[in-house]
Amino acid sequence: MTILSDLINKILEYWNNYHLDLKIDKIGIGSHFATTILNNGSVGLCHTLYNIIKTKKRLNKLDTKAILRELLNSFRADHVHELDPCKFILYARSEDINLKALGISCINAISNYIIFNLNYDVKFDKMDEIAGLTLNNKLKVGVIGAIKPIIRQFEKIGIKTIYLKEDDLFKKQIDSENIKLVEDLNFINQVDYLFITGSSLVNESIDEILENSQNCTEVILIGPTAGCIPDPLFDKGLTRIAGMNIIDTERTYEIIINNGGTQAFKKYGRKYYIINKNKNV
């Protein structure tokens, strides 16, 4: 079983045990993110990977409408309100990048409701914190995924050793003498803190990453796509999960379907984190 499959099963377990009755209000996809918004206002986000795949494909509004029309036809539905969230999350296993991103965004939307309503110990970042961590310049950090704002923060702190594993197409966009570009996961044993983008759920590299990170002091899944319930990831050694709770759903939705990214909608959300208390004792 993969972590993604475990996530789906855990969502369904919560759904049945707590008799959840959530409906899909909106779904949307752009060149950076897919999103699902539930009728209670819970929002799920998922990176589409379009800005790192070789084709550099970008969606326009016509493409978006075609994708959503295809989805509705597959469910024999006339409107997204008729879509069953418990069936919709199964698209997270799809080979189609559009359907996969939408399925994961639905997982994250349901997770958003569960996290903020069912007894998770949620904390919010204070100034100069990253996922509740206060970093210092003696640390060695690793980053899987080009989280440029975080890398800039590492540099501001004065961290001299930053390992970055990223797709070749992104390497030229990160320019720093402190960054050591790496091709495989062998570097993980050399870092204190490992930061992983939520995109690792989409490309399903998260399982291998966590298998190799058992000796790290902190292993953090971070970013808007890291909005899932943390249980299956904590079971595999993740120490913290850090997502974004969207406050202004309408503005965020408009940004996403018009091909905007994190920098455009981050002001409409709050960064939060959850600690794996079994690992941080």
CATH assignment of the domain containing 230? 3.40.50.11590
Please check whether residues 131 and 214 belong to one and the same domain.
yes
Please check whether residues 271 and 213 belong to one and the same domain.
yes
Residue 153 lies in a domain: yes
CA distance 281 to 275: 10
- Confidence (pLDDT) at 63: 64
Please check whether residues 238 and 148 belong to one and the same domain.
yes
Contact partners, residue 180, CB within 8 Å, separation at least 6: 161, 162, 163, 164, 187
Residue 43: what are its φ and ψ, rounded to 5°? -120, 135
- Confidence (pLDDT) at 247: 97
CA distance 235 to 279: 10
The whole-chain average pLDDT of the chain stands at 89
pLDDT band at 171 (very low <50, low <70, confident <90, very high): low
Residue 258 lies in a domain: no
Count of C-beta atoms within a 10 Å radius of residue 53: 13
Average pLDDT in the 30-55 region? Answer: 84
**Paired tokens of 202:** 């989409």
Domain range for residue 44? 3-117
Residue 7 lies in a domain: yes
Closest to 246 (Cα-Cα) out of 220, 271, 274: 271
- Confidence (pLDDT) at 238: 98
Asked if the model's pLDDT at residue 115 lies above 90, the reply is: yes
Please check whether residues 215 and 230 belong to one and the same domain.
yes
Average pLDDT in the 21-43 region? Answer: 94
Please check whether residues 15 and 112 belong to one and the same domain.
yes
pLDDT band at 173 (very low <50, low <70, confident <90, very high): low
Residue 259 lies in a domain: no
Please check whether residues 7 and 105 belong to one and the same domain.
yes
DSSP line for the chain: --HHHHHHHHHHHHHHHTT----EEEEEE-SSEEEEEETTS-EEEEE--TTTSTT-----HHHHHHHHHHHHHHTT-SSGGGS-HHHHGGGGG-SSHHHHHHHHHHHHHHHHHHHHHTT---EEPPTT-BTTB---TT-EEEEES--HHHHHHHHHHT--EEEEE--HHHHTT---TTEEEESSGGGGGG-SEEEEETHHHHTT-HHHHHHT-TT-SEEEEESTT--S-SHHHHHTT--EEEEEEES-HHHHHHHHHTT--HHHHGGGEEEEEEE-TTT--
Please check whether residues 89 and 181 belong to one and the same domain.
no
Please identify, among 117, 143, 158, the residue that sits at the C-terminal boundary of a domain: 117
Please check whether residues 154 and 271 belong to one and the same domain.
yes
CA distance 95 to 23: 25
CA angle, 112 as apex, 75 and 250 as ends, to 5°? 75
Residue scoring higher pLDDT (229 or 66): 229
**Paired tokens of 266:** 């981050």
Residue 253 lies in a domain: no
Per residue in 219-253, pLDDT (tens digit) is 999 999 999 999 999 999 999 999 999 999 999 99
Looking only at the bridges linking them, the beta strands covering 269-275 and 123-124 are antiparallel
Q: How many domains does the chain have?
A: 2
Asked if the model's pLDDT at residue 45 lies above 50, the reply is: yes
Q: Which residue has the tokens 């690992």?
A: 279
- Confidence (pLDDT) at 68: 75
Residue 45 lies in a domain: yes
CATH of the domain at 77: 3.30.390
CA distance 202 to 45: 11
Amino acid found at 271: K
Average pLDDT in the 120-148 region? Answer: 92
Please identify, among 65, 93, 117, the residue that sits at the C-terminal boundary of a domain: 117
Asked if the model's pLDDT at residue 37 lies above 50, the reply is: yes
Please identify, among 79, 100, 117, the residue that sits at the C-terminal boundary of a domain: 117
pLDDT band at 167 (very low <50, low <70, confident <90, very high): low
pLDDT band at 119 (very low <50, low <70, confident <90, very high): confident
CA angle, 15 as apex, 11 and 18 as ends, to 5°? 130
**Paired tokens of 65:** 């409408």
Please check whether residues 8 and 110 belong to one and the same domain.
yes
Per residue in 177-234, pLDDT (tens digit) is 788 889 899 999 999 999 999 999 999 999 999 999 999 999 999 999 999 999 999 9
Please check whether residues 67 and 162 belong to one and the same domain.
no
Residue 42 lies in a domain: yes
Please check whether residues 101 and 141 belong to one and the same domain.
no
Q: CA quadruple 127, 131, 134, 135: dihedral positive or negative? A: negative
Residue 58 lies in a domain: yes
Please check whether residues 234 and 174 belong to one and the same domain.
yes
